[in-house]
Amino acid sequence: MYSKILILRFPKTVVHKPIVCDLVRNYNLTFNILNATVLPRKEGIMVLELYGTRKNYKEGLAYLEQVGVQVQKAEQEIKRDKKKCTHCGACTAVCPTGALSVQHPEMYVIFEQKKCSICELCVPACPTRAMEVRPKANAVFE
Residue 89: pLDDT over 90: yes
Instruction: Tell me: do 13 and 55 sit in the same domain.
Output: yes
Residue 90: pLDDT over 60: yes
Residue 76: pLDDT over 80: no
Which helix (H) or strand (E) segment holds residue 10: the answer is strand 2-10
Is 97 among the domain residues? yes
Q: Which of 73, 97, 121 is the last residue of a domain?
A: 73
pLDDT value of residue 48: 87
- 83 lies in which domain range? 77-135
Instruction: Tell me: do 21 and 43 sit in the same domain.
Output: yes
Answer left, alpha or beta for residue 54, where phi above 0 means left and psi between -120 and 50 means alpha: alpha
Question: Which has more pLDDT, 74 or 109?
Answer: 109
pTM beyond cutoff 0.75: no
Instruction: Tell me: do 84 and 39 sit in the same domain.
Output: no
Is 6 among the domain residues? yes
C-alpha closest to that of 64 among 12, 6, 142, 119: 6
Is 124 among the domain residues? yes
Q: Which of 29, 56, 73 is the last residue of a domain?
A: 73
Over the stretch 92-136, which tens digit does the pLDDT of each residue have?
A: 999 988 999 999 999 999 999 888 888 888 999 999 999 988 766
Answer left, alpha or beta for residue 68, where phi above 0 means left and psi between -120 and 50 means alpha: left
Number of domains in the chain: 2
